[in-house]
Structure 1
Amino acid sequence: MEYEFTIIVPVYNEEENLLRVEKQLANYLTIGSKKSCILFVNDGSKDNSLALIKDICERQMAFHYISFESNQGLSAAIKAGFDYATTPFIGYIDSDLQTDPEDFNLLLEHIEDYELVTGVRANRKDSFKKNMSSKIANGIRRSFTNDGMDDTGCPLKVIKLDYAKRIPMFKGLHRFLPAMILLQKGKVLQVPVRHYPRIAGKAKFHLTNRLIGPFLDCFAYLWMKKKYINYKVNENA
């Protein structure tokens, strides 16, 4: 079957959410604006997540998975999804479902004119501490990258395949996806999307890795920006 859109779903110890993920994503496949498939990336889960993923993929024809032998982190899971995807467009959503798969259609409305379209969480349903730390982290990142993005941590994005394949990912770079598209002379857009409280499972990010980690990653981004190679082939024979 010819798919147009691959939705990457990183999973790390999310057994309590996966049946809900299956239900909502299966529903999205019936209403999506592009012919879509799902790619779970099991990031070395230590609970029953992998067994549940295998069961889901047996039940659902458009669901597939890859599994790491050990936990590598969110950036690695997204990078693996980029590596394995073959469709013209790639999406990303977290398995905690604090964003709504249906909102992919809002992003896909614009993807023909942009290389990356990212959600920005409207009326966030997180704690005051989490909201403030994210706001500070986004401000620090913007001061380094000038990417103009208000919410790069939003786990709802759509990106064109050829641009995704050229992103040289490192740990923490998932926060810099818009900046990396701008380095490729691509265009980015942010679109308001819905946000919900987490109702199952445990958050994987806390104050330290939401503030200190992103601050240190900014220096890695600056090094990469200085060394980044970007070229377009004009002719070949």
Structure 2
Amino acid sequence: MSSQDNAPEISVIVPVRNEAGNVEPLIREIAAALAGRSFEIVYVDDGSSDATPAELVRLKGELPFLRSLRHDQSCGQSCAVRTGIRHARGRLMVTIDGDGQNNPAYIPALVDALIAGGAKTGMIAGQRLGRKDTGFKRWQSRTANKVRAYVLKDGTRDTGCGLKAIRREVYLALPYFDALHRFMPALVKREGFEVGHVDVVDRPRLTGVSNYGFFDRLWVGILDLVGVWWLIRRRRRVPVVSGGGQDAD
């Protein structure tokens, strides 16, 4: 029997860097939220320099559903998500931030909405309510979301929420670049799929401090937005394929 025969239905991908104090509580919450379902949790340690790797090694010996991967150096959140999804064994992918601000209790709602949407629905995006960040971070997020929505017209209020459910094959069809996770609704629609939404209530991070700043990604974000706008304009139509038979040699 191949390992794929025992593949879980759901793979929860958790990109993480220097979040040692948040690892165990978040894993326990994810497992509780998915009790009774077939799942795995795939942590991707994006070059942590704290005790995050040791925590994952300790917990893997105790929890059979936990898997972990590691980048030798930090490559960014989108790269960590991509690594996790490429190595995941499930059919349905769920992404969640590793700092504990995303509440795993909403994972079943995202997964159920994705399943209910059928093949035409490629992704369900969480949209945060009651943000617990500082006033400045809330302002920068609102500003970025308004600009993105105006330019891309992706129909999504909040693309910065880490909670997303997406079909593995849909994710792998998306063009990859750093910061892809902030433009996924627009790019999923570009591939001809619908995007649904589930409101989720934000909460404070469990421990630690944010690894991300504002000015270090401002100009890169503008360039990314222009690039995604260009990609969407260059997609004339999505082909509908019919027929069968063997591929030509």
TM-score range, shorter chain: over 0.9
CA displacement, residues 179-209 of structure 1 (integer Å, 9 cap, x when unaligned)? 1100011000111112101231121222214
Answer whether contact 2:85 2:93 (CA < 8 A) is retained. yes
SS in 2 for 1:30: coil
Residue 87 of structure 2 corresponds to 84
Structural mapping, 1:102-113, within 5 Å: 102-112=105-115, 113=117
* 1:204 matched to 2:211: yes
Q: Which residue of 2 aligns with 1:26?
A: 31
1:131 corresponds in structure 2 to 138
Secondary structure, counterpart of 1:13 in structure 2: coil
Unaligned ranges ≥5, structure 1? none
The question of whether the paired residues in 2 share the 8 Å contact of 1:90 and 1:160 is answered with: yes
Query: Is 2:9 the partner of 1:4?
Result: yes
Which amino acid counterpart does residue 139 of structure 2 have in structure 1?
M
Match of 2:223 in 1: 216
Q: Is residue 24–residue 101 contact of structure 1 (8 Å, CA) maintained in 2?
A: yes
Deviation at 1:86, TM superposition (A): 2.8
Q: TM-score, normalised by structure 1?
A: 0.93
Larger Rg: 2
Matched position secondary structure for 2:147: helix
Computed over aligned residues only, the root mean square deviation of the Cα atoms, in angstroms, reads: 1.7
Corresponding residue SS for 1:64? strand
Letter in 2 for 1:65: S
Paired-residue identity, % = 29
Q: 1:109 to 1:146 in 2, by over 3 A?
A: same
| 1:180-191 paired onto structure 2 within 5 Å | 180-191=187-198
Check the 8 A contact 2:7/2:89 in 1, yes or no. no
**One-letter code of the match for 2:100?**
L
Indicate the residue corresponding to 1:233 in structure 2.
241
The correspondence for 1:44, drawn from 38, 43, 47, is 47
Structure 2 segments unaligned to the other structure (5+ residues):
1-5
In the TM superposition, 1:162-173 aligns within 5 A as: 162-173=169-180
Name the count of aligned residue pairs: 235
Q: Give the counterpart letter for 2:47 in structure 1.
A: G
SS at match of 2:232: helix
